[in-house]
Structure formats: structure tokens, C-alpha cells
Chain A
Amino acid sequence: MKLLKNASAGTDNREDLRVTVSPAESDIQITVRSSVGALFGAHIEAAAREILSDYQISACNMEIDDRSALDYVVRARVETAIRRALEV
């Protein structure tokens, strides 16, 4: 599937994150900025990649600004941003 537009989801609140996605040419670029990046940065990126894979998206630019959100929140926000970017 191809992303049709830029989209974002989430908030700047503590224990939440903001995700922004935009269409890209050929591959997946994920940038994670997190208050707990040294401990969980890799997990956050892995969760995002999983969801992109679930939606069969092979190209996008994603930026994540995380404030120590739990895994289920990361996944919910990433999925919301992706769905929004797939809408016409």
C-alpha cells in the first residue's frame, strides 16, 4: 500500500507521543526522538516497523516524538497516523 498524504497522530502530553508520516520514494525512514530513547528507542522503532509491515507499507518517512509512552500507546498512535495517511 502507498501512503497518499502526510498525516500525524498523538499529543505532546507526558506518556504519549506524536507521530508524523509522509509518503516516500523507496524505503522506510524512521526517526525516533524520545525522553527514554537510550532505554526504549529500539523498541519504539521496532513497533513502528511492525505496524508498517502489517499495513504492507514499504516506503514512508516517519518521525516520532515520544514522551515515555507505553508500547500499546506507541502502536495505537502509529497505526492511527498510517490510517490517516491512507485516507483519500
Chain B
Amino acid sequence: MRNILFVPGNSTKMLTSANFLGSDAVVMDLEDAVAPNEKDAARLLVRNAIRALHYQVKLGVRINALDTCYWQQDLKEILPLAPDFIMLPKTADVNSIHVLEQEVAKLEKQYGMEKEVKFIALLETAEGVENAYAIARASKRVEALFLGAEDLTANLCAVRTKESSEILYSRCRLVSAARAAGIDVYDTPFTDVEDICGLEKDARLARQLGFTGKASINPRHIEGINRAFSPSEEEIAYSREVLEIIEKAEREGRGAVSLRGKMIDAPIMARAKYILKLAGI
């Protein structure tokens, strides 16, 4: 997924239009976007929306954190709708994943569900960042790590800036942990809705650092994120050339291949395949 759009679980308009906002995935938020006295209302709205709206995009639900009284009811209501993933906020350690998995597995059995729902671990504390690799490997259900910079910077006693060097270590740590564990990793949303230039810069940095994609809290950011995370025409053309030349070499029984003076080795071939996969080719 190049982008993940957060949609407040209590907003009827956003839930209804979530399919058409141009994102690869949508997370229906039962946590921060919903006031405590509306948690029950949001749960039912999200449940009904998923039933009624036949979403084409990948669908996730951010449940409430494990230290609240809401998360179990969230799961009970939402799990039968078989979302693509559950996002667990404030994932601090391996134990969080185990607790979640235990509850989810119990409900899946109870409801006779065949497919196992995946998890995305939202790391937004120093502890979570430090435990990133262990969390990434805590369960085969964990399909991605996700950085939540706003809460994290508070936890770090750092100052959150657009320039973002205060989260550089955390970003790199998550990327490193996720890639070592063989899973995806998503960058934190850009919070200035109006600053599209700033958003694009931030998204390009995230791509450069190795993130799979980036989350957003506003549909207006999706185009910019897509641009940063979609391969450019030059990259696609080059990747095609690489694969063609490898195929040609295989047919002719040649081993070593070079393209415009550069040796094409396994990493370059792997990257070419990845680029074409991203481009949907």
C-alpha cells in the first residue's frame, strides 16, 4: 500500500465516501478520532458501514489501546466483518501482540471465521520503537509496523517539527526492524493539511528511508503521497529494460549481464521486479 487514509469512525460522510478518496487503504478509527462517550456509537457506525458499503480499498480498523475498557468490545463488534487488518495503537512490546492475538483468535474461533485477520502495530512510544524488531516478529499476523510521531515525540520529550530530525532515528529503526523481519513499514501522517509542498517533501523522505508507504489524515494528501511512492516513468522504463536484458541473456545461455556499462546483479534485478510490482505491471 502506498498510502493509508485515516477516517474518523464517527463521521458518516467520511465513512460513506471512504471508497472514493483515492487511497490504497482506509483505517476506520475508533481510537483518537472518537470521544469516550461516543465509542459505542462509532463501533456500530463502522460495523454498519463495512456491511453496507462493499469497500474496494483495503480496510483496517484502529481499535482502542489495550489499557482501555473499549478494545475488547471493538473487536467483538468489528471482527465478524473481516477487515483486512486491525491496527493496535500504543504497541509497546511483544506482550501487546500476544494479548491481542489471544483475544482475536478466540473470537475468530467463536465466529467460525476461516481467514486470520492481520495486525499493523502502531509504535508511538520510545518503548515501542526500541522493541520494534521483536514486535515485528511477535506473530505471523503482524504484517507491518507503523510510526506514530505525534505521541512519540511527546513520549521522547522532543519537539515535533516539519524538518523532522527528532524522529529520524525512530523512522530508521522501524524501517530496519520491519525489513529485517520481512514485513512492511508505514510512515507517520503529515499534520499540516494545507502545506502540500511540505507533505510531498516529507513523503519523498519517507520513500528515501525505505518506508513502504505513508499514512495520511486528509484526502488532499493522497495525491502527493502517491507521487512520492509510485515509481516514476523512468524507473519503470529502466526496470523493464533490466528484466528484458536478463531474459535475453537467459535465452542465449549467457551468465553475466550488463546494461549501459553497469553490471546487473541480483539486487538490481530484485529491485527492478519490485518497481514493476509497485507499478502494477
Contact = CB atoms under 8 A, between A and B. Distances in A.
Contact of B41 (A13, A72, A77): A77
Contacts of A73: 12, 16, 45, 48
A52 to B, nearest CB: 15
Contact of A15 (B12, B40, B49, B52): B12
Q: Is the interface of B mostly helix, strand, loop or mixed?
A: helix
A79 B44 contact: yes
A75 B12 CA distance: 12
Interface string B37-52: 0001100110111011
A47 B48 CA distance: 13
What size tier do the contact residues of chain B reach? Answer: 10 to 19
B13 interface: yes
Interface of B: 12-13, 16, 40-41, 44-45, 47-49, 51-53
Interface in A43-88: 69-73, 75-77, 79-80, 83-84
A80 B12 contact: no
Nearest to A17: B12
Nearest to B41: A80
Contact of B40 (A14, A75, A84): A84
A15 B16 contact: yes
Q: Which of B12, B41, B52 has the most CB of A within 10 A?
A: B12
Interface residues of A, number: 18
A15 B14 CA distance: 10
B13 A72 contact: no
A10 interface: yes
A16 B52 CA distance: 15
Q: Is the interface of A mostly helix, strand, loop or mixed?
A: helix
Contacts of B53: 72
B41 A16 contact: no
Nearest to B47: A76
Contacts of A70: 12, 16, 52
B41 A69 contact: no
Q: Which of B16, B44, B51 has the most CB of A within 10 A?
A: B44
Given A70-B52, A76-B48, A10 B13 contact: no
A72 B40 contact: no
A86 to B, nearest CB: 11
A13 B12 contact: yes
A9 interface: yes
Q: Which of A14, A69, A70, A76 has the most CB of B within 10 A?
A: A76
28 contacts: A9-B41, A10-B41, A13-B12, A14-B13, A15-B12, A15-B13, A15-B16, A16-B12, A69-B12, A70-B12, A70-B52, A72-B52, A72-B53, A73-B12, A73-B45, A75-B48, A76-B41, A76-B44, A76-B45, A76-B48, A76-B49, A77-B41, A77-B45, A80-B40, A80-B44, A80-B45, A83-B40, A84-B40
Interface string A1-41: 00000000110011110000000000000000000000000
A4 to B, nearest CB: 15
